[in-house]
Amino acid sequence: MVDLASIEIGPLTRAQGSIVLPGSKSISNRALLLAGLSSGQTTLVNLLDADDTQVMRNALRTLGLSVVDQANKVCVVNGCGGEFPVRDADLFMGNAGTAIRPLTAALAMQGGSYRLSGVTRMHERPIRDLVDGLRQVGADITYELQEGYPPIKISVADIQIKDVVKVRGDVSSQFLTALLMALPLVAKEPVRIEVLGELISRPYIEITLKLMARFGIHVTHPDAQSFIIPAKTTGAAYQSPGKLFVEGDASSASYFLALGAIGKGPVRVLGVGGESIQGDVAFADALALMGANISSGDDWIEVAGIKNAGGKLQGITIDCTEIPDAAMTLAVVALFAEGKTRLNNIASWRVKETDRISAMTKELRKVGAIVEEGADYIVVQAPATLADWRSPSEGIGTYDDHRMAMCFSLAAFGPNRLKINDPDCVAKTFPTYFSEFATVVS
């Protein structure tokens, strides 16, 4: 791919067609690690091929595993039975939160020496709550630079689970996911994990539990804050299911579903639907609340404009705890809605690839939107008139954040041509996004 400083798109008036979604990032990186830790060979079908999943693949290879990419988005992983062959490694994790968090926990169980680092932004993303949880079972983890943040060093330690393991749930659900995936490796007795405070992004935990079950570990969930991991019997904790199909990425679906509403549609996404295990499919429900015409099947969702012919989308107030990534798309959809759209409980945006609340506020104001931001919310109102829409000469900043670039492609349905800077940042999760976008818009 040729690196582009910027692209210009729009003004656009129509969107229609269908898109086959890339594999889910959340499922892909979890499945890669579980396949690596399991006994046996696993064939992963429709695995996402993007920066974040290449980070996980390369880490597993560095740790001594055979991870072979084949044609047609197939990847074959030979598992290690819970014990990585390499016990001393320096791993570069880029800016992949779905890779560094669970891999940190798995490595802490290995009895080896490891260092994990990433790009500058990764060193600003918190990991303290996970480290605190791992230290409760005896893990020896130190911070190399700033307390609570990568880079981190893991040293040989005697892992013993003597009590309930407690972890905060209000910063990132990935910390709980990491503990859930790692502790079965050493669970001589049933292990209870308790979540302190609110558990955000709960649907992502459901993804974790369902994938663990596919690899033979069935976690019970007696109440909203507790999880019980079964005791490890003889042999490896995880067993390969042989083959696992990775469903399409529901977060990536949000941009095309939004196109179907803004651009009259119909736009159909293939690969997610009523059978999806991803929480971000609820984005379609949010669009429906705004007035979009939605239909769906087991593995597809379609949006065909607005329910009321000639009508407009309507602003809504919505709790985004369950759809933190897809909620970003709603912030740009609000440019095309009547009234205010308020997105609540999005504090996790602050610790993502960039401070997404701040970034979204700044860039929406560039195109003329009226925006209010708070610690954990954003309120967006469309430019008052067509004359109030602007096309900033400096372009839309994307902050090396794939979702900023994909979200703001929708703003090209405004009255002006729009420049988006660093469009190649979409390689993190959806390298072909802008070429796929071009096939359904005019």
Task: Tell me the backbone φ, ψ of residue 210, rounded to 5 degrees.
Answer: -70, -35
Residue 423, classed as helix, strand or coil, is: helix
Among this protein's residues, is 285 annotated catalytic?
Answer: no
* Residue 6 near residue 436, CB atoms below 8 Å: no
Residue 152, classed as helix, strand or coil, is: strand
Burial (0-12, 13-18, 19+ Cβ within 10 Å), 309:
exposed
> CB 304: neighbour CB atoms within 10 A?
17
List the beta bridge partners of residue 301: 269, 296
* Residue 285 near residue 276, CB atoms below 8 Å: no
Nearest C-alpha neighbor of 155 from the set 115, 103, 212: 115
Residues 6+ apart with CB under 8 A from 62: 86, 89, 91
Residues 6+ apart with CB under 8 A from 14: 263, 264, 441, 442
Burial (0-12, 13-18, 19+ Cβ within 10 Å), 393:
exposed
Q: What is the largest CA-CA distance in the chain?
A: 70
Burial (0-12, 13-18, 19+ Cβ within 10 Å), 83:
middle
Cα torsion 354, 182, 65, 38: sign: negative
Distance CA 332, CA 414 (A): 11
Print burial letters for 122-133: b (CB count within 10 Å at least 16), e (below 16).
Answer: bbebbbebbbbb
Print burial letters for 275-286: b (CB count within 10 Å at least 16), e (below 16).
Answer: ebbbbbbbbbeb
Residue 313 CA, distance from chain mean position: 26
Of the residues 51, 325, 422, 424, which is catalytic? 325
Q: Which residues are catalytic?
A: 325
